[in-house]
Each structure stands twice: as structure tokens, then as C-alpha cells.
Homo-oligomer: A and B are copies of this chain.
């Protein structure tokens, strides 16, 4: 198969008679020769190819422009020029597919993110988006590697669901009915079906069998909110551990986030540097700060006191029983603690039924991880494992015992303390790259009124 430019740029010694395929990023004509900058997507850097006018196929170069695909045969030699160790001395150049200079939208100049979103099928051909999506790929691998090394099993929880994970968000309906006014009994599944907002409940059933599990899959929100932080479809990672409490949960979350950042700094150095240099000058320090500090752990009660005594003017007033807003979260992590912080033991009135009730009667064993710039990166909890407490929480919420009967049964037979959390994958990518619009870390983003490609 083909030689990849990434491997050639890391070559140990010169190589004769190789074949390289790629897309031309730029062409520069000199008197007796032509330079081509070639990229094949394997890495950020280009391979420089030089064609002397005396090669037989020199004529073809006049038809080769930015965006064209080419095949070049030649020798990999040490580059006499600055800026690269190796270059390709061409013996034969072939045009594979041309790119018209008048219409090809990715000429060598800066393009706005807004413009590139409209050509999402072409934007991974740019440096920035190539880098983002190589990082996304490596981050995905890091997720699997982290959990596997710790003996977690990957579970594919269903995407189509009949349950709503207790109103974690508005849901899309899934149907085969021509007319949704017809009885749901006539629909494909014989009842109303939705796109999942979380795999947690299903993951719990697997944690209560395989011990430690995680999900990593798409989740959905039908919220009609056009913000830089919301997408209708995004990927989420949800680990779930049996025989674990809220403190084990925080320990796992801290190790996980640190591992992901470490892995990317180790494996995506070149791509990350693009963001360090051109997107956010503070980014590298922010990532390093994550790795070198122990994350703070503070109870919600204490966090509220810190906010009340901060002397800050918040848009939303704060007090026990109030859900923390992004402004509060960012104050705690950016100004007060100056590092990532877990806030835990939230008032039960603002949290879902499945979270474990604490002995104080007022709070549940919930936790959020707050990080600079982003605010909440992770949300999780210890789950209620006591059947009677869970049953009365389900009843109090007016949820259907029939629908949650199987979930309650996990507590009826061999119940165990267990805990887990959710990490929004795109939010992590935004944190790691400094990219501020979620549409720019998703290959083809789905947002209200936007379903292209």
C-alpha cells in the first residue's frame, strides 16, 4: 500500500524509488524547477517535492494547482533547505485529479470558521480541521485504552429507547408512521420510541454483572438552542462501576481526564501545537496545570459559602438549593481554586431520582467536575442502591413503576453500591483545542435547521 507522508518525514535514512500520493497544498515555480507542498492527511506537516525541469513529466505541472491530487515517484533525500529534514526529489509526476483555481474554495489563505462550516465536506483538508479530527480520533482511542487498562468492559447501550432517563433533556421521536397522530401501537416498536439522552440506566445493569463498564456513543437533545455549546447530536462517555462510591467516582474521573490530556500531549504533539500557537496562547499552560495539580474536592454547601463570600456580582444569585450556573462554576475553578474542582453532595431537590440520598436527608451523592474556560466537564453520582429508597423516589417523581421495574430489580437481587459519570466528548475536545464552537469539533454537526451532508 501507499507510503504515508508521516512515515517519510520520520524516516531514518534516505530512500530511493518511492511513490507518494497526496494533495497539493501549494505550488511554487522557480526558474528551472517547481516546488510542491504535498499533504496526505496522515499528519499536519507537508512533504516538499522538487521537480526539475528535465524530468520527462515536467509539462504536467502546469495543470497542477492547489487542491489537486498527484502521484509522485522519486527519491527521499536530505533536504538542503531549511524547515524540513527530508524532501522528495521527483523523477515522475502524475496528475490524478485536478482542482480548478477559479472555483476550488480552499485556496492558500485564511478562511473563517463560519465559511468552512458551509463546506464541511472539504474543511478536513485544511491544517486546522485536519488537526482537530486527528485529535478527535486519538482522543477516542485514548478513551478505550484508559478503560481497558483498568478492566472496564465497553457496552453498546441502545440508541433507540422507550425510556427518557428521567427528563435529562428533550427527546427526538423515532417513528415509521406516516402520520404520528395514529396510535403508537401501530408504530414500529408498538410504543413511542425516542433517541437516547444517556446510556446510564442500561450501563448500570451491566455494571451489576460485569463489574466495571463504560459506554461511548452518540446521544441526542432536541433542544431548540442555537448556542456555540449545544448540538442536537454529540458523543458521550459514561463509565459505571460496581462496588464504588462517590469518592471512588471522583478518583476515576480525575484519573480519566488526566490520562486523556496526557495521551494527547504525548501522541498529538504536532497537531496540538497548532492550537497552542494560533488558537489560544494560554492553552498549553492550562493543560499542563490539569496534569500537575490534584483536583480540589469541595462539598456543594461549602462551594455555595465560597460564592456567597466572594464579593463577586453574579447575574444569578446563589444560595443552598440553587443549581450552579456557568458563572459560578467558572469563578470556583478559575478564580478561587485556580484548578479543576469537584463539587459534590448537591441538594436532592435539583437532582434526578436515581442519585443516592445522603444521611442528612437534604443532599444526594452527586458530583460535577468544573474546569477553567468550560465550566462543567463531567457530571455523575453514586446511584441509589437501596430498593426501598429508590422505589419511593420513583413514586415521588410520578414515574411509572412498570417502566422502571427492571431498573429496580437491579436493587432487588444482589444490589451493590455503584457510581458513574458522563463526559461530553465534544466538550473535552473544545477544552483540549481551545476551539469555542461545538460545530467545529464535530465532522458534520446537527443543530436546529441544519442537517447538511
A: residues with CB less than 8 A from B are 1-2, 4, 6, 21, 23-24, 40-42, 67-69, 71, 96-100, 103-104, 106, 119, 121-122, 124-125, 129-130, 133-134, 136-137, 140-141, 144, 148, 151, 153-163, 170, 172-181, 188-191, 193, 195, 202, 205-206, 208-212, 217-218, 220, 222, 224, 232-233, 235, 242-244, 248, 251, 385, 406-407, 409-417, 442-444, 446, 448-453
Docked Cα-Cα span, A1 to B244, in Å, equals 8
Residue contact A162 to B415, C-beta cutoff 8 Å: no
Docked Cα-Cα span, A368 to B173, in Å, equals 35
A155's nearest neighbour on chain B, judged by CB, is: B443
Residue contact B97 to A385, C-beta cutoff 8 Å: yes
Residue contact A202 to B453, C-beta cutoff 8 Å: yes
17 A-B pairs besides A172-B175, A179-B180 with CB distance below 8 A are: A1-B248, A2-B244, A40-B243, A96-B416, A98-B414, A133-B206, A137-B154, A137-B155, A140-B144, A158-B446, A159-B220, A160-B233, A162-B451, A180-B180, A181-B181, A189-B448, A217-B218
Checking B100, B141, B162, B409 against A452 with a beta-carbon cut-off of 8 angstroms, the contacting residue is B162
Closest 10 CB pairs of A and B: A97-B415, A41-B210, A124-B209, A41-B211, A189-B451, A121-B205, A190-B449, A137-B153, A69-B414, A21-B243
Residue contact A450 to B189, C-beta cutoff 8 Å: yes
Residue contact B180 to A178, C-beta cutoff 8 Å: yes
A104's nearest neighbour on chain B, judged by CB, is: B413
Known: A133-B206, A137-B155, A205-B453. A211 touches B4 (CB 8 A): yes
Instruction: Determine how many copies of this chain the complex contains.
Output: 2
Taking CB atoms, residues of chain B closer than 8 Å to A134 are 153, 210
Docked Cα-Cα span, A251 to B1, in Å, equals 10
Residue contact A416 to B124, C-beta cutoff 8 Å: no
- A6, chain B: closest CB distance, angstroms: 7
Taking CB atoms, residues of chain B closer than 8 Å to A443 are 155-158, 202, 206
A97's nearest neighbour on chain B, judged by CB, is: B415
- Interchain residue pairs with CB less than 8 A apart (26): A1-B248, A1-B251, A23-B414, A41-B210, A41-B242, A69-B416, A97-B385, A97-B411, A97-B413, A100-B412, A121-B202, A121-B410, A124-B206, A137-B155, A141-B148, A155-B443, A156-B218, A159-B159, A172-B174, A173-B175, A175-B180, A189-B232, A189-B450, A189-B451, A193-B451, A206-B443
